């Protein structure tokens, strides 16, 4: 692996585990086996390195999600949403990604201006518009924007809740399945009741 990639990889680990302020150039360099000053031959500053890591990760995550979506979009909505939920669990079984993701959410919510994850959230949802259309079609109840919004909110919320669970207790197939089943039945009964 090229040195620049090794640095990014090490930085990925450190930023995820210790946060931006909690990580020093020293930490990153040590893991690669370099002096910290040498990092500046590859990245102009700590912040530039951080942004490079974030950008790559978000791009990668968005790609993997979109890829899953493409493979699932012809299937019934239940299978599609279940498959995407599974993809989330798969993607974030990488602890570094999970930590980075959760930290980014805090940056978004804290009004912390400094090293915002400005490019972050939008990227993930680049195909969301398309996904929404796919879901709405076979379910006329979802034509109502208010109903649709709460449906999607419940879905996203379940996913974020499960990621929180993974963060503290790790992935658990039984729990995953139970959560999905409960969500889907609840969502369906709400749709039919409206």
Partner DNA sequence: GTCTATAGAGGGATAGAC
Partner DNA sequence: GTCTATCCCTCTATAGAC
Contacts with DNA by CB under 7 A lie at 3, 23-27, 33-38, 40-42, 44-47
161 near a second copy (CB under 8 A): yes
Residue 59: which of 103, 91, 102 has the closest Cα? 91
CA dihedral 15, 17, 19, 25 (to 10 degrees): -50
Query: Which of 4, 5, 22, 144 touches a second copy by CB under 8 A?
Result: 22
Nearer to a second copy, 62 or 167 (CB): 167
> What are the φ and ψ backbone dihedral angles of 160, each rounded to 5 degrees?
-60, -35
Long-range interactions of 131-139: CB distance < 8 A, separation 24+: 131/69, 131/73, 131/84, 134/73, 134/77, 134/80, 135/77, 135/80, 135/81, 138/76, 138/77, 139/77, 139/191
Distance between CA atoms of residues 154 and 25, nearest Å? 40
Instruction: Tokens for 84, please give them.
Output: 């995407």
Query: Which of 64, 77, 167, 171 touches a second copy by CB under 8 A?
Result: 167
- Tell which positions 39-98 bind a second copy, by CB under 8 A: 95, 98
109 near a second copy (CB under 8 A): yes
33 near a second copy (CB under 8 A): no
Residue 56: which of 69, 43, 68 has the closest Cα? 43
DSSP state of 73: T
Query: Which of 44, 70, 106, 130 touches a second copy by CB under 8 A?
Result: 106
Nearer to DNA, 24 or 194 (CB): 24
The piece of 31-39, 66-74, 81-89, 107-115 that touches a second copy (CB under 8 A) is: 107-115
Nearer to a second copy, 34 or 158 (CB): 158
DSSP state of 184: H
Contact residues for a second copy (CB under 8 A)? 16-22, 95, 98-99, 102-103, 105-106, 108-112, 114, 121, 146, 149-151, 153-154, 156-162, 164-165, 167-168, 174-175, 178-179, 181-187, 189-190
């Amino acid at each position: 692996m090229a040195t620049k990639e090794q640095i990014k990889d090490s930085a990925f680990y450190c930023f995820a585990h210790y946060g931006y302020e909690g990580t020093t150039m020293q930490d990153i360099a040590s893991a690669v086996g370099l002096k910290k000053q040498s990092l500046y031959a590859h990245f102009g500053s700590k912040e530039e390195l951080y942004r490079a890591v974030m950008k790559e990760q978000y791009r990668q995550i968005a790609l993997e999600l979109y890829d899953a979506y493409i493979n699932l979009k012809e299937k019934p909505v239940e299978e599609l949403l279940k498959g995407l939920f599974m993809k989330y669990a798969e993607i974030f079984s990488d602890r570094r990604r999970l930590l980075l993701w959760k930290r980014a959410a805090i940056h978004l919510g804290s009004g912390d201006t400094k090293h915002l994850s400005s490019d972050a959230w939008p990227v993930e949802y680049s195909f969301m518009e398309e996904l929404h259309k796919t879901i709405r079609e076979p379910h006329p109840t979802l034509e109502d924007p208010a109903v649709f919004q709460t449906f999607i909110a419940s879905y996203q919320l379940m996913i974020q809740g499960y990621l929180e669970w993974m963060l503290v207790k790790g992935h658990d197939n039984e729990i995953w399945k139970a959560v999905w089943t409960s969500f889907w039945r609840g969502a369906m009964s709400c749709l039919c009741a409206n």
